[in-house]
Structure 1
Amino acid sequence: MREYVKFYIDGQWTDPAGAGTFVVVNPATEEVCGKVALGSSADVDRAVAAARRAFPGWSTTTGEERVEVLQNVLDVYQKRAGDLAAALTEEMGAPAVLAGGFQVGLGAGHLSTAIAVLKDFVFEEQRGATLVVKEPIGVCGLITPWNWPMNQIAVKVFPALATGCTMVLKPSEKSPFTGQVFAEILDAAGVPAGVFNLVQGDGPGVGVPLAGHADVDMISFTGSTRAGVDIARNAAPTVKRVTQELGGKSPNIVLDDEAFAENVGKGVANMMGNSGQTCSAPSRMLVPAARMDEAIAIARETASGITVGDPQGDFVMGPVVSGAQFEKIQALIQKGIDEGATLVAGGPGRPDGLERGYYVKPTVFARVTNDMTVAREEIFGPVVTILGYDSVDHAVEIANDAEYGLAGYVAGADLEQARAVARRIRAGWVAINDAFDFACPFGGYKKSGNGREWGEFGFHDYLETKGILGYTPEAASSG
């Protein structure tokens, strides 16, 4: 059993101010697998003070010096990849092939991308007599979720390091093991003391004092829209920058062409990845109404082929993260049935043969209308809803009829048509035919948040822009 009862502050593993702990439950077995210390405002104060002391030195390092540190981090990260994967499987139930593959791979990919961006990033630009300077914003509070731990830590920590910021990281208490291993990686890589600090804990104990701290210059938060609103309220009195990546209910428009059957199958399979616990998941599939029966048959066949079981075994899907998450998903599945959606696959309860663990059946609803709860509320589980459209214009109208705007998807053989549809979707990240790019900006419209992460775009929120007028000697002397 893992016991992580110290925080990483000012380059040292230190005891917390209090004695509280949080018990971590393995979602595959429902048994306790570890505990972590619960931080408090006193711990936040110590960590922020360490980051503040480290800022003058780290912020004035050169890009080349920061590249060297990040490269050291990448070297250690790759050596510890197996440890990160094991932690992911244990704390959140990610199947071993997913944990050791895409989950850990995302962290390495974002780090490699940050290194490449930093090598060519322009921090100073002369515009006439004025020098425009991009400077690190200062001390950053980074609050990350449980569903893609390494991805979300990576897209916050690595841009912050690359731009010369110092930081305090608060991982989710539901998936704290990866954050602890990550801190060990940065320590071993030689990140200077105080530049990176880790305080474990929950929202009230750590998140609230971090968001409201007067010496924190910026908060980057990923999580639910409800929690994001609270973060913004807590941060408002100090007028700090707040960036948020929040909820989603992303449309997946499947166009009416020869690739229809393949794209319906892919859409269902993609929704079930990570047990549906992905904020940008393609949860609302839109298909031509005239082909609804065909879509139902394909979706049923695809869902029935998705295996569910022990994440240490050879299964596509593991459990969802917790009992509370399991119960929420079950209630929403029942809501879909009660509101009259056609249950195509899955449904309430655990899959056959699984009596313990927070396992959910891969579930598909069809003939869904966009006013139903399952079409509007983020379920955050392996549930896809299929809605019919009469025309492409109708599909775009349905796609944009949501309070969220994190992601969108378009699948079709005609690339020109897919491009035209993608332009009309009101979302910050739209993928055509499952395209993927580490350099693409990621973030939301509407209630899905503000700010952008990934690649070069992830640097900007960690920088302030300064204009120095009369910088050239000629302009200064000309008055």
Structure 2
Amino acid sequence: MSEAVVPQYTAVIAGKQVPATRWIDVLDPSNARLLARVARCGAAEVGAAVEAARHTYETLWRFTTPVERSRVCHRIAEVLRAERGDLARLETLDTGKPLSQSLVDADVAARYFDFYANTVEALGGETIQQQPGRLAFTLREPYGVCGHIIPWNYPLQIAARTVAPALAAGNCCVLKPAEDAPLTSLRLAEIVEEAGLPTGALNVVPGYGGEAGAALAAHPDVDRLAFTGSREVGEAVMIAAARNIVPVTLELGGKSPHLVLPDYDAALAVPQIVESITEHAGQNCSAGSRLLVHRSVHDELVDALAERFRSLRLGAGIDDPDMGPLISAKQRDRVLGYLSEGRRDAVVRAGGGVPGGEAYTDGFFVEPTILDQVTPENRVFNEEVFGPVLCVSVFDSLDEAVALAEHTTYGLAAGVWTSDVTTAHWLAQRLRAGQVFVNNYSAAGGVELPFGGYRRSGIGVEKGLEALREYTRCKTVAIHARLPS
């Protein structure tokens, strides 16, 4: 793309495009070409965004009724659906994911606004019984200004996931998208205002995490924080939140296992296991990245998976292949580093490196890979690779399967594949994971399903009704009514 026609995107604060003096290059992951430039915001822009959100909250949005907020959220969903194709194309160019996956992301983003529009009117407090002459009840009230720091893997979907419940509950928001994929978040800022959201209720400030993200996390006038991303950055966000004594939701990493028992349904399991680790090239915090399989069915299952992996079509996301590139050269090199180390102690059953061919020369591609006979001592067994790498280990008993599943410090999701409902129930109770899927693995969807991690996968809950409650605080009112004399 010629330098002369490279589009530029600035921060959106109080409904206005804010002039920028510093820029970040955004590359197309499929060919490393310059796709756009976005403003490199810092503390000044973040401060202006927080001020705008505070003004709108204090003068307007906090006084709206749930019915009014519901109507606005429904209109946002309508505009998102109307622009589904354009948003999906922009998401694919920005992230590299196949176009069909970006279309699903656009649909899910609209569903988040519809879901919270439908549920906010039912959100209420409780009455508490006390002695005669005393009345006590609780109110659910918005926090005020919420800061949202989101990653680059599902920017449109995660922006909607975190912003929709906050807005529906009556908060105003400042959103900091990842510098690698900020374009649909900036378009979202325009869409919500087109749909009737008051100016300043959603502000978007692109920039680097260490500058704009750190400024937002540390801002003293932010009442609540939500962060999705790496564990290391999550720790920094949590420290910043602690200094200001504000609540925080952290959705961090994962090393989610599939537990496959001898009585599994291969026709059901194989395609979903493949999809769970190759969707968006495995760049998914809840990707099913570990396959723990009973020894008796190991060979047949791994053979079937390897055949599927070898048949996957790689390419530029805009051509809608089975799998696109990774987000950046940095991420590709990170994944290749894990593969180089992991294959020393494992058997490569599919993939294992960079695909050959001219079509992959300039992009950030890695082959979908199966590493077999991976031991718990191997780094790829325990650490989040965030790429299309499936690690296979065997077990002989249920207790051993649980021990292998629990060997990492993460606990985001897990899949269980068995025809025995008693065994499934037993495993679901024992696995320390925020979501356990039995004979399915749909961690990327499920707007209605609460989503939160155990252990170092995070704290707090997103999605479902629980997220709406997360964005409100509980106030207790106790009234002493004088009894008639």
Secondary structure, counterpart of 1:368 in structure 2 = coil
Q: State the partner residue of 1:158.
A: 164
The letter of the residue matching 2:13 is I
Which of 24, 27, 32 matches 2:26? 24
Q: State the partner residue of 1:297.
A: 303
The letter of the residue matching 2:108 is L
Q: State the partner residue of 2:194.
A: 188
**Whole-Å separation in 2 of the counterparts to 1:337 and 1:89:** 31
Q: State the partner residue of 1:241.
A: 247
2:47 aligned with 1:38, yes or no? no
Q: State the partner residue of 1:172.
A: 178
Q: State the partner residue of 2:65.
A: 62
Which of 447, 456, 465 matches 1:456? 465
**Whole-Å separation in 1 of the counterparts to 2:413 and 2:272:** 17
Q: State the partner residue of 1:211.
A: 217
1:262-304 deviation digits (Å, cap 9, x = unpaired):
5245313321111100000110111012332222211211111
1:238-277 deviation digits (Å, cap 9, x = unpaired):
1111110000000111121151465245313321111100
Which of 319, 323, 328 matches 1:317? 323
* Deviation of the 1:367 alpha carbon: 1.0
* Deviation of the 1:417 alpha carbon: 2.2
**Whole-Å separation in 2 of the counterparts to 1:216 and 1:20:** 25
1:24-62 deviation digits (Å, cap 9, x = unpaired):
010101111110001010111111111111112211211
**Whole-Å separation in 1 of the counterparts to 2:356 and 2:477:** 64
Q: How many residues in Structure 1 have an aligned counterpart in Structure 2?
A: 471
The letter of the residue matching 1:93 is G
**Whole-Å separation in 2 of the counterparts to 1:68 and 1:262:** 40
**Whole-Å separation in 1 of the counterparts to 2:69 and 2:339:** 48
Q: Is the 8 A contact 2:80 2:106 kept in 1?
A: no
Secondary structure, counterpart of 1:343 in structure 2 = strand
**Whole-Å separation in 2 of the counterparts to 1:312 and 1:209:** 35
Q: State the partner residue of 1:441.
A: 450
**Whole-Å separation in 2 of the counterparts to 1:77 and 1:86:** 13
2:437 aligned with 1:421, yes or no? no
CA RMSD of aligned residues (A): 1.7
Q: State the partner residue of 2:410.
A: 404
* Deviation of the 1:349 alpha carbon: 2.1
Secondary structure, counterpart of 1:284 in structure 2 = strand
* Deviation of the 1:114 alpha carbon: 1.2
The letter of the residue matching 1:216 is V
* Deviation of the 1:193 alpha carbon: 1.4
Deviates more, 1:155-164 or 1:73-82: 73-82
Q: Is the 8 A contact 2:268 2:439 kept in 1?
A: no
1:191-217 deviation digits (Å, cap 9, x = unpaired):
101211111111122111111111001
Secondary structure, counterpart of 1:154 in structure 2 = helix
Q: How does 1:93-108 map to 2 (within 5 A)?
A: 93-100=96-103, 102-108=104-110
The alignment's TM-score, normalised by the length of structure 1, stands at 0.95
Secondary structure, counterpart of 2:394 in structure 1 = strand
* Deviation of the 1:351 alpha carbon: 4.2
Q: Runs of 4+ in structure 1 displaced over 4 angstroms?
A: none
Q: Is the 8 A contact 1:410 1:418 kept in 2?
A: yes
Q: State the partner residue of 2:352.
A: 347
* Deviation of the 1:5 alpha carbon: 3.6
Secondary structure, counterpart of 2:248 in structure 1 = strand
Q: State the partner residue of 1:388.
A: 394
Q: State the partner residue of 1:468.
A: 477
Q: How does 1:120-159 map to 2 (within 5 A)?
A: 120-122=122-124, 124-128=125-129, 129-159=135-165
Deviates more, 1:442-451 or 1:304-313: 304-313
Deviates more, 1:432-441 or 1:318-327: 432-441
Structure 1 residues 196 and 288, CA gap change in structure 2 (3 angstroms): same
Percent identity over paired residues:
35
2:98 aligned with 1:89, yes or no? no
Q: How does 1:71-90 map to 2 (within 5 A)?
A: 71-90=74-93
**Whole-Å separation in 1 of the counterparts to 2:37 and 2:206:** 11
Structure 1 residues 201 and 293, CA gap change in structure 2 (3 angstroms): same
The alignment's TM-score, normalised by the length of structure 2, stands at 0.94
* Deviation of the 1:4 alpha carbon: 3.3
**Whole-Å separation in 1 of the counterparts to 2:477 and 2:6:** 52
* Deviation of the 1:86 alpha carbon: 1.1
* Deviation of the 1:435 alpha carbon: 5.5
**Whole-Å separation in 2 of the counterparts to 1:55 and 1:313:** 43
Secondary structure, counterpart of 2:220 in structure 1 = coil
Structure 2 unpaired stretches of 5+: 130-134
**Whole-Å separation in 2 of the counterparts to 1:111 and 1:195:** 15
Which of 13, 24, 29 matches 2:17? 13
Q: Is the 8 A contact 1:254 1:260 kept in 2?
A: no
The letter of the residue matching 2:17 is W
The letter of the residue matching 1:235 is A
Structure 1 residues 258 and 39, CA gap change in structure 2 (3 angstroms): closer
**Whole-Å separation in 2 of the counterparts to 1:399 and 1:265:** 21
2:285 aligned with 1:279, yes or no? yes
**Whole-Å separation in 2 of the counterparts to 1:85 and 1:112:** 19
Secondary structure, counterpart of 1:257 in structure 2 = coil
* Deviation of the 1:424 alpha carbon: 1.3
**Whole-Å separation in 2 of the counterparts to 1:73 and 1:224:** 29
Q: Is the 8 A contact 1:269 1:302 kept in 2?
A: no
**Whole-Å separation in 1 of the counterparts to 2:325 and 2:167:** 34
